[in-house]
Each structure stands twice: as C-alpha cells, then as structure tokens.
Amino acid sequence: MSGHSASRGGSAEPRAATPPTMMKLCLVTVGATAAFNTLISEVMDEPFFAKLRQTGFTHLIVQYGEDGKDTFHGFLEKHPEGDPALHGIGVGGFSLTADMHPYFMMAKNRTARNQELGLVICHSGTGTILEAIRHGLPMVVVPNPNLADNHQEDLARKVDELKWGIMGTIGNILEAIDKAEELRNEEPAVEEESVDSMNLAMEDELSFVD
C-alpha cells in the first residue's frame, strides 16, 4: 500500500491563503449495481449546496446511475446556472462510466493543477471506497438501506473506524460533511505493508521443485 498512502497534507493552511480560483471538488457516486435515488435527492437540494459553499467547495460532480437521472436534471432545470439555490457551485453529472479514475484525480490535492483536496460522497461499494483510499481522498460513506445484505454497513463502519472517512446516513449528510472536513487534517490509519500473501499462496499451490 506504499504508493497510495494518503497524502492529505497541504490543506491544513488557512483557507484565506488559497486563491479563489482553486478548485475544490465534491464527487458524489452511487455506483452501477443498485439504485440509490434517496442519496441523489438529498444531494440535489438547496441546503446541500449551501453547505458546500460554506465548507469551501467550488464544484460538484454527481454520478447518478440509471435511476437518478430525473432527480438530477429535474433540479437543474428548476435552478439553472446562476440560480441562487446553487450558491455558485459548478455542477456536472452523468449516469455511468466504466472508468471513474479521472474524476477521482480531479478531487485530489494537486497544487500544480490548482486543485484543493476534495471529498467523495458515495454508496458503500467496494470499488469506490478502494479507489478513494488509493487516492487519499476523504469520504462520506452512505450505506444503502434498501439492500437486504447489511455487509455494506459493516464496511462503512470500518471506514469510519479507520478514519478513512465518515459513515453517513440519509438525513445527516450535512453533518457528515462537517465531520469529514475535520478529518482531512488527520492521518488515516494505514495498514502496514504486508507480505504479498496472494503471490505466496499461488506459488504454494503450484508446488515447484525447490
């Protein structure tokens, strides 16, 4: 895990020192497998944008999945660009993509690209959480209450415990963002570099003559 242990430094400096053109991105993703429209409707709402503004975000990108399309575009039709309800936040969104990597890169702390460390708000999907950890991004993980299997909640709790992010629930995402803002100055718990147990197991099973 060496190459991608979170580098969250640099964002600790006072906000006033950063030029206003710095981008701070909030990335919301619901994944591909299950619909999670409640998360989308919570995000596409005036108080959420107010909170983003208050915590210094400049942009919002939403991956809304197959079912979130109407909610997302409905809100934007009601509040076109420049509307006070958007609080000056730049909004973009799409349904699905095979490769989320570029969007995670946009939320990273890269001064050369005028980027400040952003935030990922996501469903409790393995792929998304792993990617966020790899990029050292703080996150708010919201388990989908509609899924019968509660191992997603286990995972979200673990993320919270290891300080990779905050476990959020529908209805308290605004508080979770505040908590995540405090988290960004903390070093997350990194598991020590372990032996490559997979490779060892694979070689064992092949049973070479030594």
- For residue 139, what are the β-bridge partners? 120, 165
The amino acid occupying position 43 is V
Measured distance CA(52)–CA(38) in Å, rounded: 19
Confirm or reject binding of residue 206 to other proteins (CB under 8 A). Answer: yes
Distance CA 160, CA 168 (A): 9
| Of the residues 111, 126, 146, 185, which one makes contact with other proteins according to CB under 8 A | 126
Give SS3 for 159: helix
Contacts (CB under 8 A) with other proteins, residues 145-174: 151-152, 154-155, 158
The window from 8-16, 37-45, 75-83, 197-205 that contacts other proteins (CB under 8 A) reads: 197-205
Closer of 32 and 50 to other proteins (Cβ): 32
Q: Is 77 in the site for other proteins (CB under 8 A)?
A: no
Among 22, 23, 32, 105, binds other proteins (CB under 8 A): 32
- How many C-beta atoms lie closer than 10 Å to residue 64's C-beta? 25
Number of Cβ within a 10 Å radius of residue 165: 26
Min dist CB 127 to other proteins, Å, is 4
- Residues 6+ positions from 157 with CB-CB distance below 8 Å: 167
- Per CB under 8 A, residues contacting other proteins are 1, 4, 31-33, 98, 124-127, 129-130, 133-134, 151-152, 154-155, 158, 191, 194-199, 201-210
